[in-house]
């Protein structure tokens, strides 16, 4: 076994130093305005009793402004990002983030608007929210949208609390929620937080819900079934109409996890499939930048029978007199209440509406069509040659916007785990696909190439995989010890959990 000979890159030689370690006593950046005429420099303990005051300043860094900029610019270069390279992270919809959206979100009328501004002075903001509500209602095929949830998982929790309120209103108190074994981890976590018991439903040979298993598990103690369609295998569940009627017959609701909405915009709508509650990830299908892990937003769309329970306040348009007026409606007696402060992640709403207006109805539909074309093209490319041999598609049929490969043959024949392949891809300048998800596929790789990626990037990705596999046929140790060129190499994650050091000593 040969270890490739490597020298340290300059970035690797530049060891991580925190901003606290760069602190020099006496340095500073901020200059604050003077107190102002007439304001006295009263000793603090004459304003607030001494025992309620801090004795020692908090341990923040002492650093000049140029040093702050340099520190964070250097840190930024230790990140891989979507603007720089292909990022086919399955289920995350890493599509281009238009810069126009950043520009309009930064307008003072948006960015500097206080959330408690009286509706009379925030008509533009409320109208913007109303337009987004209406747009998402049309895209999801459901009549009412609440923008309040902060992200997908909060949308899920909102949906489950709506489910609880809906049943309670009918004098029912079912205790279980069904989720397929392919579900995102947030689904079962949200179910528990909403006080329900998770019951898993099996997946059939086509990657859809096993209808027989569903029949066996659905009864009047089931509050709802949570589905992602297309599911996390990138497959559209053809039995959706039958599933919907099975669920509704028992009085349960049908919940749609909108993580994969990017596959079907303008093609099919969850509302038309029979879903009662849908959450939409604005940071996936609607181009809000992911920010290294947020912010996002997770609006929910609901059917008429669930509408009375949606969070408050709700943006409403009041017709009357000569002009329409947009208002915040708090008077919703059956509402589940609030999931968070104020009205939601408005800055995300601005970006998403800008995106929807830019594309229009046709453009959204075209985006989904091209996302599906890109996924099928890349899947086809990867079903050839070595990737076809070592990385077979988990469910071999046309996919929607993403597809799942199994690295099991690669592991068996080359001794390469999916993780090794992912790490070697980093040396080739690609962000790896999602790995080890969904759980039911051994050594899974989930690839979502999105519509904003050009064909040449898909080709280059397929070629890189081919190259890595070829290389591994000769010497698997190369990938097993990858990456080599990244700012740091493979990190000890076990130690970080066993003996957590989570702050500067």
Q: How far is the CB of 142 from another protein (least distance, A)?
A: 13
Of 415 and 504, nearer to another protein (C-beta) is: 504
Of 82 and 224, nearer to another protein (C-beta) is: 82
Q: How far is the CB of 305 from another protein (least distance, A)?
A: 19
Report residue 377 as tokens.
């093209």
CB atoms within 10 A of CB 332: 17
Q: How far is the CB of 355 from another protein (least distance, A)?
A: 8
Q: How far is the CB of 287 from another protein (least distance, A)?
A: 8
Of 160 and 468, nearer to another protein (C-beta) is: 160
Q: How far is the CB of 453 from another protein (least distance, A)?
A: 7
Buried b (16+ CB within 10 A) or exposed e, 386-406: bbeebbbbbbeeebbbbbbbb
Q: How far apart are CA 28 and CA 51, in angstroms?
A: 28
Buried b (16+ CB within 10 A) or exposed e, 291-326: eeeeebbbbbbbbeebbbbbbbbbbbeeeeeeeeeb
Q: How far is the CB of 411 from another protein (least distance, A)?
A: 19
Beta bridge partners of 198: 177
Q: How far is the CB of 380 from another protein (least distance, A)?
A: 5
Q: How far apart are CA 405 and CA 435, in angstroms?
A: 10
Q: Are 283 and 295 in contact (CB under 8 A)?
A: yes
Of 167 and 389, nearer to another protein (C-beta) is: 167
Q: How far apart are CA 464 and CA 413, in angstroms?
A: 19
Of 173 and 467, nearer to another protein (C-beta) is: 173
Of 243 and 252, nearer to another protein (C-beta) is: 243
Q: How far is the CB of 257 from another protein (least distance, A)?
A: 12
Buried b (16+ CB within 10 A) or exposed e, 66-87: ebeeebeeeeeeeeeebeeebb
Of 22 and 413, nearer to another protein (C-beta) is: 22
Q: How far is the CB of 410 from another protein (least distance, A)?
A: 19
Q: How far is the CB of 195 from another protein (least distance, A)?
A: 5
- Reduced to 3 states, what is the DSSP secondary structure of residue 271? helix
- Reduced to 3 states, what is the DSSP secondary structure of residue 11? helix
CB atoms within 10 A of CB 379: 23
Report residue 155 as tokens.
């949308």
Of 12 and 413, nearer to another protein (C-beta) is: 12
Of 413 and 440, nearer to another protein (C-beta) is: 440
Q: What residue has token string 């979502």?
A: 448
What is the Cα gyration radius of the chain?
26
Of 202 and 413, nearer to another protein (C-beta) is: 202
Q: How far apart are CA 254 and CA 471, in angstroms?
A: 47
Q: How far apart are CA 377 and CA 367, in angstroms?
A: 15
Q: How far apart are CA 368 and CA 285, in angstroms?
A: 9
């Amino acid at each position: 076994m040969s270890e490739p000979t490597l020298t340290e890159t300059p970035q690797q030689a530049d060891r991580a130093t925190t901003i606290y370690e760069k602190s020099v006593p006496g340095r500073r950046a901020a200059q604050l305005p003077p107190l102002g005429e007439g304001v006295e420099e009263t000793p603090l303990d004459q304003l607030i009793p001494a025992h309620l005051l801090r004795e020692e300043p908090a341990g923040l860094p002492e650093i000049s402004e140029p040093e702050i900029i340099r520190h964070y610019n250097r840190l930024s270069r230790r990140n891989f990002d979507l603007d720089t390279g292909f990022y086919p992270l399955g289920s995350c919809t890493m599509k281009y983030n238009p810069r126009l959206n950043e520009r309009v979100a930064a307008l003072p009328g948006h960015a500097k608007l206080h959330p408690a501004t009286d509706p009379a002075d925030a008509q533009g903001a409320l109208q913007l929210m109303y337009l987004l509500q209406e747009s998402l209602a049309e895209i999801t095929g459901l009549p009412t949208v609440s923008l309040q949830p902060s992200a997908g998982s909060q949308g899920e929790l909102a949906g489950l609390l709506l489910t609880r309120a809906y049943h309670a209103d009918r004098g029912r108190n079912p205790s279980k929620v069904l989720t397929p074994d392919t579900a995102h981890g947030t689904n079962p976590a949200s179910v528990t937080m909403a006080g329900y018991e998770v019951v898993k439903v099996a997946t059939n040979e086509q990657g859809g819900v096993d209808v027989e298993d569903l029949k066996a598990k659905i009864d009047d103690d089931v509050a709802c079934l949570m589905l992602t369609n297309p599911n996390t295998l990138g497959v559209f569940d053809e039995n959706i109409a039958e599933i919907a009627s099975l669920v509704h017959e028992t009085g349960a609701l049908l919940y749609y996890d909108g993580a994969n909405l990017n596959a079907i915009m303008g093609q099919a709508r969850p509302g038309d499939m029979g879903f009662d509650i849908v959450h939409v990830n604005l940071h996936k299908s609607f181009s809000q930048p992911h920010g290294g892990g947020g912010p996002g937003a997770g609006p929910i769309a609901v059917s008429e029978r669930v509408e009375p329970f949606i969070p408050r306040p709700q943006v409403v348009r009041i017709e009357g007199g000569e002009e329409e007026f947009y208002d915040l409606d708090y008077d919703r007696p059956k509402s589940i209440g609030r999931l968070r402060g104020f009205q939601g992640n408005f800055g995300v709403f601005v970006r998403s509406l800008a995106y929807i207006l830019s594309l229009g109805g046709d453009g959204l539909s075209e985006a989904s069509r091209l996302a599906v074309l890109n996924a099928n093209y890349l899947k086809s490319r990867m079903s050839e040659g070595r990737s076809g041999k070592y990385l077979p598609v988990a469910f071999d049929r046309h996919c929607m916007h993403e597809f799942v490969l199994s690295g099991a043959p690669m592991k068996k024949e080359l001794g390469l785990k999916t993780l090794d392949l992912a790490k070697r891809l980093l040396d080739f300048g690609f962000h790896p696909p999602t790995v080890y998800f969904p759980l039911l596929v051994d050594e899974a790789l989930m690839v979502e190439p999105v519509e904003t990626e050009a064909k040449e990037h898909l080709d280059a990705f397929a070629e890189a995989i081919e190259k890595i596999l070829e290389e591994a046929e000769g010497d698997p140790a190369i990938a097993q010890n990858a990456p080599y060129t990244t700012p740091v190499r493979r990190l000890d994650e076990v130690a970080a959990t066993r003996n957590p050091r989570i702050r500067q000593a």
